[in-house]
Copies of this chain bind each other. A is one copy, B any other.
């Protein structure tokens, strides 16, 4: 009898995944990562970020041969020219992407084959805060609502547990819900 082992599930190489977990357990220094972004102002609300190198798994990672680029902008009503998603939308993207990737990895680890994952996110803000018109409103979103629609070869309860585990382990969900100590330094030219 031949036992067929499914190595790639949901597009995730589970053998590599468990190998990575074993390697970090064996040498915890491999767990230290640093991600970086460079941003350049273009004009008005238009600016552009690039991401390429990072540190992780014990070395400076230069495997990306080209940088990624994300453009930022604002719509006309917020004084921009729609040169890209605005920063608040970019934050919602970061949240959606991290929850999605995390749940896809969790499902792969748990042997669940997913067929579809979609999400919609909404963030409410009163711009009287960030425009400096009223101290009664915070600058950012008052709240964020995330709605997932997930399909796969597992009962609904198991699919819900996978999303719950993703909430418990997502890096960006942690940051967006709990905040991060942030320091800003300025050099003037």
CA distance A152 to B114 in the complex (A): 52
Q: Residues 106-135 of chain A: 1 if any B CB is under 8 Å from the residue's CB, otherwise 0?
A: 000000001111111111111111111110
User: Which residue from chain B places its CB closest to the CB of A93 in the assembled complex?
Assistant: B49
Shortest distance from the beta carbon of A76 to any chain B beta carbon, whole Å: 6
A3 near B: Cβ within 8 Å? no
Shortest distance from the beta carbon of A73 to any chain B beta carbon, whole Å: 8
CA distance A44 to B106 in the complex (A): 11
CA distance A177 to B169 in the complex (A): 19
Residues of B within 8 A of A173 (CB): 139, 182
CA distance A125 to B134 in the complex (A): 35
Known A44-B12, A49-B96, A72-B93: A175·B35 in contact at CB below 8 Å: no
Copy count, this protein chain: 2
Residues of B within 8 A of A156 (CB): 188
Interface residue count on the A side (C-beta < 8 Å): 129
Shortest distance from the beta carbon of A17 to any chain B beta carbon, whole Å: 6
Q: Are B31 and A128 in contact (CB under 8 A)?
A: yes
Known A70-B90, A189-B116: A56·B77 in contact at CB below 8 Å: yes
For window 83-112 of chain A, which residues contact chain B by CB distance below 8 Å? 84-102, 104-105
Q: Are B137 and A181 in contact (CB under 8 A)?
A: no
Residues of B within 8 A of A21 (CB): 131, 133
User: Which residue from chain B places its CB closest to the CB of A156 in the assembled complex?
Assistant: B188
User: Which residue from chain B places its CB closest to the CB of A183 in the assembled complex?
Assistant: B145
CA distance A117 to B120 in the complex (A): 33
CA distance A17 to B80 in the complex (A): 10
CA distance A119 to B88 in the complex (A): 18
Q: Are A144 and B182 in contact (CB under 8 A)?
A: yes
Q: Top 9 closest A-B pairs, CB basis?
A: A11-B44, A87-B98, A151-B189, A72-B97, A39-B96, A140-B175, A11-B43, A41-B117, A90-B94
